[in-house]
Amino acid sequence: MNKEARVQFVINTLKELYPTIPVPLDHKDPYTLLIAVLLSAQCTDVRVNQITPLLFAKADNPYDMIKMSVEEIKEIIRPCGLSPMKSKGIYGLSHILIDKYDGKVPQSFEALESLPAVGHKTASVVMSQAFGVPAFPVDTHIHRLMHRWNLSNGKNVVQTEKDAKRLFPREIWNDLHLQIIWYGREYSPARGWNLEKDIITRTVGKRSLIEEAAKKKI
């Protein structure tokens, strides 16, 4: 199977498995999505979805957020990890949104990435999920699966994103990156991986990985 055929198999299988695609992080608008994505760094989406209702009950917009202190924000978001950095980022970016953007989340990669604690992945998620702009945010699941499927060398997320954008049609990026995340969680996790359940890796994956998994089974 050549690379083009493998890419098409991935697209077709994911479309069949996930015809409707839920967004993993609960939110109601671009601002609450931005905060949720920021909190998800080195934290599970499940945990973030437990914490954001507590935070958003007090402040679900930048104007209410800056009425709280950094310390108050930090106490609420502590279970998400990295709370000193994240709380300063949330407070700081909320101020900037008010001062520079009339309290609204800007709709450009450059503007988003200039905000405190907002990196390229966070900006990509907001651009794709809040504004519908084609983007391909690469999280640990996508990075792992692109390598397992022999579609990227797995050296770093920057290279993985470039490979994904080169291989997959731009018009499906926003759906596809979510489909890969759900597939990674359900069928191809980092731990407890079962090749028998993982039809995509079993069909198009790196030969060395498949052989290694087969040996372990023996």
Q: What residues act catalytically?
A: 121, 139
Rg of the chain, C-alpha, whole Å: 19
Query: CB of 128 within 8 A of CB of 117?
Result: no
C-alpha 89/C-alpha 95 separation (Å) is: 10
Backbone torsions φ then ψ of 130, nearest 5 degrees: -90, -35
Burial class (CB in 10 A: 0-12, 13-18, 19+), 5: exposed
In the DSSP assignment, the letter for residue 170 is G
Long-range Cβ contact pairs of 57-63 (< 8 A, separation 24 or more): 60/28, 60/31, 60/32, 61/31, 61/103, 62/31, 62/93, 62/94, 62/95, 62/97, 62/98, 62/103, 63/94, 63/98, 63/103
C-alpha 103/C-alpha 98 separation (Å) is: 4
